[in-house]
Amino acid sequence: MKFTGALVKEDGKSILRGNLTIRGITKPVSFDVTYGGRIKDKNFGIEKAGFKVTGKINRLEFGLKWNETFEGGGSIVGEEAGIDVNVEIDKR
């Protein structure tokens, strides 16, 4: 899995737009970004900023087609996969 993109401001929101590649298939995607704040690391004196990145993709669009069903016939895995990433960036 590989992602390349850029942070943009749109209607007062921060959006991470770019290309996500999974198993050799690349698709454009957008993820919501929430700023979590800044802290200064007490041990090393490095300023850090935190962000939460969230969104959804359709796993079938990336060739992730594995599926099984429960005895009653319902799917074990849905088509939609959630993306939930916590990011910490050091200022140096």
pTM over 0.85: no
Q: What is the pLDDT of residues 9-59, one digit of tens each?
A: 999 999 999 999 999 999 999 999 999 999 998 888 899 999 999 999 999
State in words which class domain 2-91 has.
mainly beta
Q: Is the pLDDT of residue 73 over 80?
A: no
- Cα dihedral 77, 78, 80, 84, rounded to 10, equals -40
- Per domain, the residue ranges of the chain are 2-91
DSSP string, 49-60: EEEEEEEEEEGG
Q: Beta-carbon neighbour count of residue 20 at 10 Å?
A: 20
Residue closest to 29 by CA, chosen among 51, 48, 1, 49: 1
